[in-house]
Amino acid sequence: MLVFYLLGLIEALYKILAVTPGFLIPPNFRIWTLITGGLLEKSIVYVVIDIAVLLLCGRQLEPLWGALELLKFLGILDILTSISTTVLCLFAYLTTRNLDIWFATFSGMAGIFGGISVAFKQIMPDHKIDLMIAEIRVEMIPSLLLFASCIFAVVGVLPLTSPLQTVSGIIIGWVYLRFYQPRGKGVRGDMSEHFSFASFFPVSARPAIHNFSLIIYNILVKCGVCKTPVRTYDVGAPSAITISLPGMSPSDAERRRRKALRALNERLKKEQENQETTNEENWPSVDDETTKNDNDASEVTIDLENNSSSEADVEIVDKSELEEK
């Protein structure tokens, strides 16, 4: 990222390394820009943000996926986002006949950020992020990222191609993770309900989106683009029966296990705190115990003194009787 940033400071090199839709086709055919465009930034602030996001991505995703799968995911986002944004620019050019759109130069990791936000939505949808002013769920990050990208593009902070890159990255990341990512035991994709396409929209709009996306999915299945979910039954497993169903891959099981353990730990901690509070209310303090012990000791001393005096009187009476006898 730093090397490409320094190279991009030279205006001539930036135009060669950044993506320009009009230069991807012959006679220029700058196909290498599909890779270099995602690694090129024009501001050092964006470079710092990119590196921070990549480090966070590595800490969370690499232990679950492996380094090779993570690198493949980032490469798919980089290349396909550039292609998708180019196609959108082509449609915009054909609609408006504005040649500046077709030769607009863009770069940056906006599309990769969109795909990474979808990956976080998949692995920790119930996790909450505390922003001090409010708490947001991780599953809301793709929508918020797209909304912020549109706002910043309108006010001029980001280029107009940034929302196109972001929405392309979100869609490409979801399609790959939903249908094509290898997940072990011959299972591909994540067909769980919390990762459906309708989950990206508000709750009130989800039924209509679900019905529409189901029609598109059935069409893609008939065209051979997507495959129907595969159910496998491993009867020879050491345990009784191991069933692998869509949405129940090892990573999903691990996520649910961690969620259950977290809920159990919170419940046990709460019960332990309640029990400690009850014990503190029922048991006397150290000062009370000390005062009580001192009082008991004084009473015992008095009893001993009384006992010793009575024994002395008894001895005196016995001696007088003996003298008289």
Q: What is the dihedral of CA 113, 118, 120, 126, to 10 degrees?
A: 140
Q: What angle do the packed helices 67-96 and 44-65 form, to 10 degrees?
A: 130
Say what the pLDDT of residue 87 is: 93
What would the mean pLDDT of 223-242 be, rounded to a whole number?
A: 58
Category of 29 on φ-ψ map: left (φ > 0), alpha (ψ -120 to 50) or beta: left
- pLDDT tens track for 87-127: 999 998 999 888 888 998 999 999 999 999 999 998 887 78
In this prediction, residue 202 has a pLDDT band, given cuts at 50, 70 and 90, of confident
In this prediction, residue 251 has a pLDDT band, given cuts at 50, 70 and 90, of low
Domain boundaries defined on the chain: 2-181, 291-324
Say what the pLDDT of residue 308 is: 45
289 has pLDDT over 80? no
User: Which homologous superfamily is 2-181 in?
Assistant: Rhomboid-like (1.20.1540.10)
Lowest mean pLDDT among 138-147, 163-172, 215-224: 215-224
Residue type, 209: I
311 has pLDDT over 50? no
Q: Which of 3, 68, 79 is nearest to 41 (CA)?
A: 3
226 has pLDDT over 60? yes
Share of the chain above pLDDT 70, in %: 77
Say what the pLDDT of residue 309 is: 45
